[in-house]
A and B are shown apart, each in its own frame.
Chain A
Amino acid sequence: SAVISQKPSRDICQRGTSLTIQCQVDSQVTMMFWYRQQPGQSLTLIATANQGSEATYESGFVIDKFPISRPNLTFSTLTVSNMSPEDSSIYLCSVRAGGTGTGDYGYTFGSGTRLTVV
């Protein structure tokens, strides 16, 4: 299955600033997914990122707050913009384990970015 390198692993940021999170995959994948896990909560899907097109955002998430780039089939970034303490969460990227083929329908997750906004 695919291996994801996600960074930074954690950061403490000042309110009003922005943080960009990177995910690098060791194989080409069609779709990448970005999730948020607020403290003590489940994973909530932020958006789905396809290479060469704009990301598709879930209800409650907007591009101005969470811009996403997907320049190629192995890399994506998520930016958390104009941060407030409510953005303190773990952010995770995910890919379909099968890559661009039919695969085995599993999903692989990055190790996560623990963000604290002060």
Chain B
Amino acid sequence: AQSVAQPEDQVNVAEGNPLTVKCTYSVSGNPYLFWYVQYPNRGLQFLLKYITGDNLVKGSYGFEAEFNKSQTSFHLKKPSALVSDSALYFCAVTSGGYNKLIFGAGTRLAVHP
């Protein structure tokens, strides 16, 4: 069965500092990994995905994520956080094909001025 763990309910970062939001996964087969962001009262927005190829994936708004197969992780990173990055972040996984996408519990990112 597929599963995703986001071990931190909330991450607090000062503006300008690097940020990391953690995600680990469990799937049978090759994982397809995704990060989404949800702002208050708004829909789910796609940030980036890993399907195959380079382990470092670059996405929207300056975010990137590194796929680590040995650690079954897909942590989201940004070199310099902005206050406007404050939102709810979801990691999700599927095992390829047209399979269902399973979401982690979400991590609330708070960037302080």
Contact = CB atoms under 8 A, between A and B. Distances in A.
Interface of A: 30-31, 33, 41-45, 48, 58, 92, 94, 96, 104-112
Chain A CB within 10 Å, residue with most, of B34, B42, B98: B98
Given A41-B106, A45-B101, A106-B49, 20 more contacts: A30-B98, A31-B98, A33-B101, A41-B105, A42-B90, A43-B44, A44-B103, A45-B100, A92-B44, A96-B98, A104-B51, A105-B32, A105-B96, A106-B34, A106-B46, A107-B34, A108-B46, A109-B44, A111-B42, A111-B43
Contacts, number: 45
B43 A109 contact: yes
Nearest to A4: B43
A42 B104 contact: yes
A45 B104 CA distance: 12
Interface residues of B, number: 20
B51 A42 contact: no
Given A105-B51, A112-B43, A42 B106 contact: yes
Nearest to A30: B98
Contacts of A92: 43-44
